[in-house]
Structure 1
Amino acid sequence: MPNQVTYRVYDFLKEIAPFSYLDREALLRVAERVEVRYQPPDTVVFRPGEPPRDRFFVVKEGTVELYSEDVDGNELLVERCGEQDIFGIRPLLAEDNYVFLARAVEESLLYAINSEGFREIIPNYPRVLEYLVTSMAGSSRYAVEYRAARRQEMAAAAPEPDLMSLHTLHRSRDPVVCLRTDTIIDAARRMTEHNVGSIVIVDDDFRPSGIITDRDLRRCVATGAVSRKLPVTTIMSAPVLCLAQQATVADVQIKMIRTGKHHLVQTEDGTDRTRVTGVISEHDLLLLQGNNPAVIIQEIGVATTASYLRELRDRSERLLGGFLEKEVAIGYITAVMTQINDEIIRKCIKMSLARMQQDGRGNPPALFDWLTLGSQGRGEQLLRTDQDNALIFEDVPEARYPATKDYFLQLAEYITEYLNEVGFDYCDGDMMASNPKWCLSASRWKEQFSSWMHDNTAESMLHTSIFFDYRGVWGDGSLPDKLTDHIFLEMERRSTRFQASLAMAALQNPSPLTFFRNFVVERSGEHKDQFDLKARAMRPLTDAARVLILQAGQGNINNTLKRYEALATIEPQNARLYEEAAKAYELLIRLRAELGLKRNDSGRFVRPGELTQVQRLLLRNSFNPVGEIQKLLELRFQLNFMR
C-alpha cells in the first residue's frame, strides 16, 4: 500500500513528461521506488567520468547546474535545471560514464528515480518509448548529455513506433563487413568507402562475430591506445546483438533502449548462427519514419500536383507538432520547416514554368529569383500564413522590358495560385510577386529600395519592415546579392537618418504589459480582448534585430535568432541582452506555433485566459528583453531628440 510520501511524489511526477504518459498504477510503482534527496548548496550530485548510477533525477525544488570542461579545465555552464527538470538520464539510455558535473546552486530537493524499475515498464508504454527515443536523437535537454558522450551529430526527429518492417531499409544495399583476419585500418577504409558508421566482422560463412563502430575507432585508435595495424578482433565488440529480418521498428527501439546499444545486426534467423543480412542504427530508424523531414522533402521533389503538396505540408505540420511536444530546439525546428517551405516554393515554380511552356510562352526571357519576404524570408515561418513574396529579374534592354515583365507577371500569377492551393493564402495587402509593383528588374528594385530609404515615411518604413527581410529561393543568388550590396551602399550615404527612422519604427509597439502587469489587449474589432503576439511581442524583437544588424554592416543574416547571435559576438558588452532577446524570441515562436496548431489558425492572437499559469509566466518573462532592447535603441540612435 503506497504511503503519503509516495502519493506526494506521484502528484508531482504526473505533470512531467514522460511520467505523464504512464497510467496511475504504473506511476505509483515508479513513485514507490523514488528516493528523496536533499542537496545542500554547492554540493555535487555526480562528476564527469563517474559510472552511471541506478538513478536519474528530477528537481523538486531548487536549482542544479550542469557543467562541462574546456581544454584548460575551466568549467562551462551547459544547462541550468529548475523545478520539474530532469537530468542525469544517461543510465536510462546508455552505459557510458557521466560527461558533465552536476552541482546544486542552492538548497535543492531531488527525486531520484530508479532507472531499472522505470526501464522495466517502458515496453508497455509506446509514448514513453517514443519520448526517450526522440530524446536520444533530438535536441532536447536530455540529448545534450547523450550527444556529448557519443561525439557525433545526430538527426532530430519525432519518430512514432509502429509495425513497419525494417526489410525495406536494406533492399538496395548490402551490409558492410570484413573478416576476422583483416586489420583495423582495413575496416576503417571500408567504412569510409561506404560512408557507414559501423562494420560487421564475419567468419568464412558470413556469420557475425563482432562489430566495430565509429566510436570504437575514436576510443581505441584515435587516442593511440591500439595500433591500427592489429586485427579487427582487438577492438570489436562481441558477441553482437542480433535481430531477425521480420523485426519491427518498435522491436528495435525497445532493444536499443534496454541494452543501450546503438547498432543491431540483422541475420537470417535473428541469431549469430546465420548469415548477416543488414545493420540497423538509430539514424536508420529515423529515416524509416514517414513523417521524417528528409522523407517529406524527397516526396516534394516527386510531387506533380498542388493538392499532393498540400498533403505533404499537412504532414509537415504534424511533424512540427511532434517537435514542439518533445521540446526540440526552435533553431532546428525553424531550419527544418524553412527547408520544407522552400522546397514547396521551388516545386511550385517548376510546375509554373512547365505551365508557361504549355501556354506556348517558352522559357524565361531572363534570369530571375523568387524572393520570400517577412517571416519566411527570415526562415521563421512554422505555420502556413498568407503569402509575402516578390520577383527580381536581371536587367534587360528597355525595349524588351515590357514583354519580359509581362512574362514574369504571368509566371508569378501561376506560382501564387499554386501556393494558395497548398494552403498559403493570398496576401490581403497584395504583397506578392503577381502585383506589378513587386515584380521588377534588378535596377528598378534598387531604385525602389533607395526611395524607401530616402523618404522615411510611415509607408516606407512599413515596406522596409517587410521587404528588407528578403531571401532568394530560386536561381544562383546573384540577383539578391546585388540588391544587398546596393542597400549597404545606400546605408553609407544616408546611414544616420535612415537607421534612426528604422529604430523609431521599432519603438511603435511599447511594453506588452500595462502598469498593473496585465497583458495589453486589443480594445475593439475582430480580436477584441485578445493579445497580439506578433505585434506586441515578436515584432519589436524582429524590428530591433533588423536595424541593429544593418548598423553592424552584416548582410545576408535574415533570421532573428541568428541576428542576435551575431550581434552578441560583435558587441560582447551587450551579449547578455542579445542572448536574452534570442531566448525570448524562441519562446514566442514556440508558443505561437503551439497555439496555432491547437486552434488551426496562425496563432497570432490569444486570450490571456486560455494560457496556462506557466505559459503566462514565461510570456511575461519574455517581455523583459523587449523593453531593454527598446531602451538600447533609444540611447544608441538618440531617439528622444526625434520625438
Structure 2
Amino acid sequence: MKTASIAHRVVDFLRRWPPFQYFDDDELFSLVSAGRVVFHERDELVFMQGRQRKPYVYVIQQGAVRLEEQSEDGVDQLRDVRGEGDLLGIGRYLGFGEHVYTARTETDVILYALPAEAFWETVKRHARASRFLATYFSVAILPPALEMREERSEELRLGRRPVDWMSRPVEQPSRPLTCLPDTAARDVARLLAERDAAAAVVIDGQGAPRGVVTPRTLSDEVASGRQPPDTPAQALMRPVCAVAAPGLEAGDYLTRMLDQQTEHLVLTANGRLDGPFAGVITRRDLTRVEGAAPLALIEDMARAPRISELAALRVQAEGVLAAGLTDPDATRWLAPMAGAFNAAVLRRVVMLVEGALADQGLASPNLDHCWVFFGSAARNELFTRHDLDCGLIYDDPDPGHARGARAYFLELGRRVSAALAACGFVTSAKAISAGHPSACRSVGEWEVAFADWIHQPIESCVYRATSRFDLRPVHGDCRLVERLERHIHGEEDRNPRFVPLLLEDSMANLPPLTFFRGLVVDDEGGYREVLDLLRATLQPVVDIARALALDSGRQAPTTLDRLLVLQPEDDESSLLIEETAAAFRNALYHRARTGLTTGTDGSRVDPAKLTRLEQNLLKSGFRTVLRLMEYTGRRYGLTPRR
C-alpha cells in the first residue's frame, strides 16, 4: 500500500478521537507523516517502568494495553487499561524523563507512534485539545505550558443558562437608607418613597444595624391601621439576624438570602452583627447583575396555600437548577440553591400540616422543636427529589407528658412525610423519615442515641447511622440542634477510637480503576456495566471529610467546606485536597445531571453514554479518591481495602 494512502487512513482514524479532532488537517498530516505504525503481539511490553522514554507519543489504534506499577516489594499493580483512541507515553509533559508505569499489551495491538515534540506544540495551539490532554493528569498538577482558557465543553452541558454571573461583584448602593430607632413610621415611609429604596435599616448610636423596615411592613402595620403613623421604627423593624461583608460575589449574597428567606441582606464593614453598617443588598441589586428567579420561587413557596401548588413550584425549581447546570463548577452555586429550595418546601409543608392538625383539634404539646435535614440534604448536596432525609428534635417533656408528646410529634412527622411525598419526593428503604420513631425523638433521646453510636459503634451498627452526624436545622428552635452538636463533640472527645473506626469503614471499598469500551474496570481488573458514582467517588470523600472534621472539632456544613477547613501539613497534601474538591464537584455534577434528566437519584451512570472527555475526568477522580484514602491511612495507621 502506498505511503500516502496509509497516512490518509491514519488521519481518518485520528479525526475520530480527541484531542486530534481539534487539530487542523495540515497539522494532522504533518504529525502522521513524521510518525510510524507499530505492532505488538499479546503480552508484549510497549515500554517499561523506569526506562528512558523514546521520542514518541502513542495512540492505540487497535487492542488493549494495561498500565502496571511495580511496588517496592516487586508486585505489579494494575493502574489503568487503555483501548482504541487512548494515548500512551504522555508523562513526559510533566517532566518525567522515565516511564512511570509499564505498558503491557493485553491483546494484539496496533499503535500509531507520533513525534512527541510536534504533538505537544500542536496541542498547545488549541484550547480544547489542551483541556482534553489535561484530563490525563491530576487536576492540581498540570503541564504549565498548556493553554487552559475558560471554555465550556458541549459534552459537559445540561443547562443552557450559565451561572457565571454569580461570580461577579455586586455594586454597593451609593446612599444606603438608614434611620434611628425612634424615627416615626411616617418619616420612614417618606424616606423610602423619596429614595425609591427597598428597605430602611435601623441603626443604633454606634452605627450598628439593629433592624430593617420595608414598604411591605409599613403597608401591613401602618396603612392597615394596626399601628399609628407615629409608631417608632424600632417597633416595626424586623431584627437583623444575619449580615454579610461588602465586596462579595453575587452568588454569596444570593445563597445567603435564600438561606435566610429574605429579599435583602444587611452589610457591615466587618461582616459581623456588631460591625458598623455598610449597606444593603436587595433582590433588585441582584436582578441588575443577572436575575433573581430563585428568590421569587422561595417567596412563592413560603406562601403556597396548598401542597399541590408547592409541588408545582418544586418542579419549577428543578428547572432553574437544570438550566444552570452547565459544568461542574456550577455546582458551587447550584448546590446551596438546591438546599434552599428543599428547605423552603419543608418549612411550608410543616406550616400547612401543623395548621391542619390544629383545625382537627389535635393539640400541640407546646414544646420547642426543630426540623432538621440529615445526610446529603444537610450538606447541600441533594439536587433531585430522592431521599430527602429529615427528622424532628423536640424539647424534653415532663415525664408525665412524654407519651402524649411523642404521639403528637410522630403523627406530625408521618403527615409531613406524606406531604413531602405528595410534593414528589421519593423515599427509599434507607431514607430517614420524620414519621419513623428513629428520626423523631426528644433532644435527650437523641443525645442517648448519639452516645450509643459513638461509644458502642460496632454493637449499635454506626455504619447505618453515619449520615445522622450530618444535621442542619431547617425550621424551628435551632438551640436544640446546637445543644445536640455540643453533645456529639463532647462524646467524640471522650472516645478517641471513634474517628479511626469511622475512617476504617470509609476505606472498605476501593474506587474503580478506569473505563474500557463502555465498561467500568475495578481495582482487580473486573468489569461492570454501570458506574455507581456514590460508591466510586462521592461516598468515600463524604465519609472521610466527615470523620476528619469531627476529629478536628471544626464546624463545617458541606463536604467541600470540611475539606477546605483542614490544615494540610505540606504542599503535597494541599494539592491533594484541591484535587479532591475538583473530583467531588465533577462527580456531584454528573449525579445531578443524570438525576435531573432521568428522574432517578442520579447515582448510577451508564459509562457507554459518557464522552471520552467525561470518562477521563471521572477516571482522574478515581485516582484522587484512592490517593485520599492512602493519605488518610498514613495519618491514622489504616489500609484501604476491598
Whether TM exceeds 0.5 here: the answer is yes
Deviation, 1:374, is 1.0
Taking the aligned partners of 2:493 and 2:195, their CA distance within structure 1 comes to 58
In structure 2, relative to structure 1, the CA distance for the partners of 1:370 and 1:571 (3 Å cut) is farther
- The letter for the 1-side match of 2:335 is T
Does residue 1:62 correspond to 2:61, yes or no?
no
C-alpha displacement of 1:369: 0.8
Once residues 547 and 464 of structure 1 are traced to their aligned partners in structure 2, the CA distance between those partners, rounded to angstroms, is 13
Contact 2:513 2:523 in 1 (8 A): no
Partner of 1:532: 532
Quote the offset at 1:475 in angstroms. 1.6
Partner of residue 324, structure 2: 323
Alpha-carbon separation, structure 1, partners of 2:288 and 2:122: 34
The corresponding residue for 1:244 is none
Number of equivalent positions = 412
Superposed counterparts of 1:369-384, under 5 Å: 369-384=370-385
Partner of 1:505: 505
Whether the 8 Å CA contact 1:63–1:83 is kept in 2: the answer is no
Give the equivalent residue in structure 1 for 2:574.
575
- In structure 1, the partner of 2:165 is 137
Aligned residue for 2:557?
558
CA contact (8 A) 1:568 1:579 kept: no
User: Secondary structure of the residue that 1:474 maps to in structure 2?
Assistant: strand
Alignment of 1:296-335 (within 5 A): 296-325=297-326, 329-335=330-336
1:431 corresponds in structure 2 to: 432
- Asked whether 1:106 is paired with 2:171, we answer no
Q: Please give the secondary structure, in 1, of the residue aligned with 2:475.
A: coil
Contact 2:166 2:333 in 1 (8 A): no
**Structure 1 residues 641 and 61: CA distance shift in structure 2, 3 A:** closer
1:161-201 Cα distance to aligned partner (Å, 9 max, x none): xxxxxxxxxxxx97969xxxxxxxxxxxxxxx999xxxxxx
Name the counterpart of 1:607: 606
1:199 corresponds to: none
Give the distance between the partners of 1:323 and 1:595, measured in 2 at CA: 14
Q: CA deviation at 1:471?
A: 1.1
CA contact (8 A) 2:339 2:377 kept: yes
Matched, 1:386 2:390: no
SS in 2 for 1:325: coil
SS at the partner of 2:415?
Answer: helix
Which residue among 261, 284, 290 is the counterpart of 2:287? 284
1:458/1:429 Cα in 2 relative to 1: closer, same or farther (>3 Å)? farther
- What displacement does 1:401 show? 0.7
Normalised by the size of structure 2, how large is the TM-score? Answer: 0.57
CA distance in 2, matches of 1:394, 1:494: 26
SS in structure 1 opposite 2:476? coil
Matches within 5 A, 1:201-216: none
| CA distance 1:107–1:403, change in 2 (3 Å) | closer
In structure 1, stretches of 5+ residues that fail to align are: 1-10, 17-40, 42-58, 66-79, 86-103, 113-129, 154-172, 178-192, 196-279
Kept in 2, the 8 Å contact 1:389–1:431? The answer is yes
SS at match of 2:393: strand
Alignment check: 8 A CA contact 1:392 1:479 kept: yes
User: Can you list the C-alpha shifts for 1:125-172, whole angstroms capped at 9, x where unaligned?
Assistant: xxxxx97x9566244xxx6xxx5xx7779xxxxxxxxxxxxxxxxxxx
> Does the CA contact (< 8 Å) of 2:162 and 2:326 recur in 1?
no
Q: Work out whether residues 395 and 442 of structure 2, in 8 Å CA contact, stay in contact via their aligned partners in 1.
A: yes
Amino acid at match of 1:365: N
C-alpha offsets along residues 341-379 of structure 1, whole Å, 9 cap, x if unaligned? 101110011011101101211334311111211100111
- Structure 2 vs 1, CA of residues 326 and 293 (structure 1 numbering), >3 Å: closer, same or farther? farther
Alignment match, 1:406: 407
- State how 1:144-543 maps to structure 2 within 5 Å: 147=169, 283-284=286-287, 292-325=293-326, 329-429=330-430, 431-457=432-458, 460-495=461-496, 497-513=497-513, 519-520=520-521, 529-543=529-543
SS of alignment partner, residue 372 of structure 2: strand
CA distance in structure 2 between the partners assigned to 1:620 and 1:327 by the alignment: 15
Match of 2:231 in 1: none
- RCO higher in 1 or 2 (8 Å CA, sep ≥ 6)? 2
Paired with 1:537 and 1:486, the residues of 2 have a C-alpha distance of 30
| CA-CA distance at 1:551 after TM superposition | 0.7
TM-score between both structures, scaled by the size of structure 1: 0.57
Deviations 1:421-445 (A, max 9, x none): 1111234136211111221111111
Identity %: 25
Offset of 1:397 from its aligned partner? 1.6
State the shift of 1:549 in Å.
0.5
Distance (Å, rounded) in 1 between the aligned partners of 2:639 and 2:590: 33
Deviation sequence 1:280-301 (CA, Å, 0-9, x none): 9884367767xx1011111101
Q: CA offset at residue 570 of structure 1?
A: 8.6
Structure 2 CA distance for partners of 1:519 and 1:458, relative to 1, 3 Å: farther
Q: Partner of 2:441: helix, strand, or coil?
A: strand
CA RMSD of aligned residues (A): 4.4
Which ranges in structure 2 are unaligned for 5 or more consecutive residues? 1-16, 23-92, 94-120, 134-142, 152-158, 174-191, 197-211, 215-282
- Give per-residue Cα distances to partners, 1:223-272, cap 9 Å, x unaligned: xxxxxxxxxxxxxxxxxxxxxxxxxxxxxxxxxxxxxxxxxxxxxxxxxx
Q: Which residue of 2 aligns with 1:200?
A: none
Contact 1:597–1:603 (Cα < 8 Å) also in 2? yes
SS in 1 for 2:392: strand
Alpha-carbon distance in structure 2 between the residues aligned to 1:642 and 1:607: 25
**Contact kept in structure 1, 2:545 and 2:559, CA below 8 Å:** yes
Q: Deviation of residue 619 (structure 1)? A: 0.5
Q: Secondary structure at the match of 2:426?
A: coil
Preserved CA contact (<8 Å) 1:371 1:391: yes
Give the partner amino acid of 2:621: S
| SS class of match (1:299) | helix
Is the Cα–Cα contact under 8 Å of residues 64 and 105 in structure 1 kept in the other structure? Answer: no
Compute the displacement of 1:109 (Å): 11
Number of the residue aligned with 2:547: 547
Q: Using a 3 Å threshold, how does the CA distance of structure 1 residues 288 and 505 change in structure 2: closer, same or farther?
A: closer
Equivalents in 2 of 1:301, 1:371: separation in Å?
Answer: 17
1:516: Cα distance to partner?
A: 8.1
- What CA deviation, in whole Å up to 9, does each residue of 1:3-24 have, x standing for no partner? xxxxxxxx999x99xxxxxxxx
